[in-house]
Amino acid sequence: MAVKPVAPDRFDCKDAIGGHGRPDPAAIYAAPGVFGEPRDDVDLYGAGIRLNAFEARIAKLLGKDAAVFMPSGTMAQQIALRIIADRDGLRTFAAHPTNHLTLHERDGVTRLHGLHLVPLATTLTPVALADLQQLAEPVATLLLELPQRELGGLLPAWDELVAMTDLARERGWHVHLDGARLWESAPYYGRTYAQIAALFDSVYVSFYKGIGAIAGAMLCGSRPLIEEARIWQRRHGGNLMALYPYANVAEASFDLRISKMKSYRDAAQWLAKIVAAQPGTVRVQPLPPPTNMFHSYLRVPADSIAKRVTAIARKHGVWTILRTAPTAIDGITKWEISTGDATLALGPERARVVLEQLLA
């Protein structure tokens, strides 16, 4: 599904409906915690005091033996699945048909690693225990995404999640977590990150989505898995001479925002109610949102959306929609919203004013 920007730029808007606001490179690098002692801050080909301490910190937080920082989640997840496929001699993995590797990575997992998807559920339904019970084809890895982005951020109930991972282990499958939004999922479960990650053999986490860093991800798991992942990172060209511009910003952003995940989720819940109440909104999914993200389906022509976004930005200084995606239904557009610092600063009253104009 093609996603396109609504307008070529965001003007000089200081405020926004979603996310953390427009990135300011100068402010990012000047933020407290980004740079300290140069000798400790700078890494060389994956070895550095601060980088390796950050890896150990995240591994401990998730209850895993080790972690490796990588430039992207695309790299981290393909590497994890490749290692397990080689280990087990199976070139298949089971996942939702809209998983990130299949939908957004240009078939890299197949073309680079020869791995093939065994789809679970349908494009419109989340993965459930019954889907795993009916799976007859042998697979090396079960990949679960928390939350399922393409379904608006749905999360399985805790007991369902435990049952699915228990069944996978009974069948000898490696269980991998696409935790691009794991940080944002914890308030829903009311459990620690280590308790959630304990259900999985390997975990990928992102530092640029809810955390708001420039880029960067970590793959966490057993020490042998991570040692082999470092070799594959080199093969992928991801073992850059220095990663500190990404890793230091990731750590500083993590410290700034990890404690705000419940606030972001709460903001998504009041924002979703406002969006759902507008006459131009067909549906909000899910309602209420279990995390800081949700999808809204709009009966507003795409060209009208672009004009309204521009007018609101000029009049109110608030950026509303950054991009939209078409749907299978003519005249209905999808808008994905993720809340963050910008949403908290905007507040429900100002948000209601601009959304009433946007979705009239």
pLDDT the model gives residue 61: 98
86 and 189 fall within a common domain: yes
8 and 92 fall within a common domain: no
Tell me the C-alpha distance between 252 and 138, whole Å: 42
- Span 319-337, average pLDDT: 92
Of 28-32, 85-89, 208-212, 299-303, least confident by mean pLDDT is 28-32
pLDDT tens for 126-148 read 999 999 999 999 999 999 999 99
Q: How many domains does the chain have?
A: 2
- Span 167-192, average pLDDT: 97
pLDDT the model gives residue 21: 79
pLDDT the model gives residue 264: 98
Q: How confident is the model at residue 36 (pLDDT cuts 50, 70, 90)?
A: confident
70 and 211 fall within a common domain: yes
pLDDT the model gives residue 28: 72
Residue 142 is assigned to a structural domain of this protein: yes
Q: Which domain holds residue 327?
A: 4-22+260-358
Mean per-residue pLDDT over the chain, rounded = 94
Strands (E), the chain: 4-5, 15-16, 66-70, 92-95, 116-119, 141-145, 174-179, 202-206, 217-221, 281-285, 293-298, 318-319, 323-326, 333-338
- Span 7-30, average pLDDT: 73
Residue 246 is assigned to a structural domain of this protein: no
275 and 208 fall within a common domain: no
Evaluate whether 177 touches 205 at the Cβ level (below 8 Å). no
Does 8 score more than 70 pLDDT?
Answer: no
What's the pTM value of the predicted model, to 2 decimals? 0.93
231 and 331 fall within a common domain: no
- CATH of residue 277's domain is 3.90.1150.10
pLDDT the model gives residue 4: 64
Token pair for 87: 């280990």
50 and 160 fall within a common domain: yes
Does 31 score more than 90 pLDDT?
Answer: no
List, edge to edge, every strand of the sheet that includes 141-145.
66-70, 217-221, 202-206, 174-179, 141-145, 92-95, 116-119
96 and 196 fall within a common domain: yes
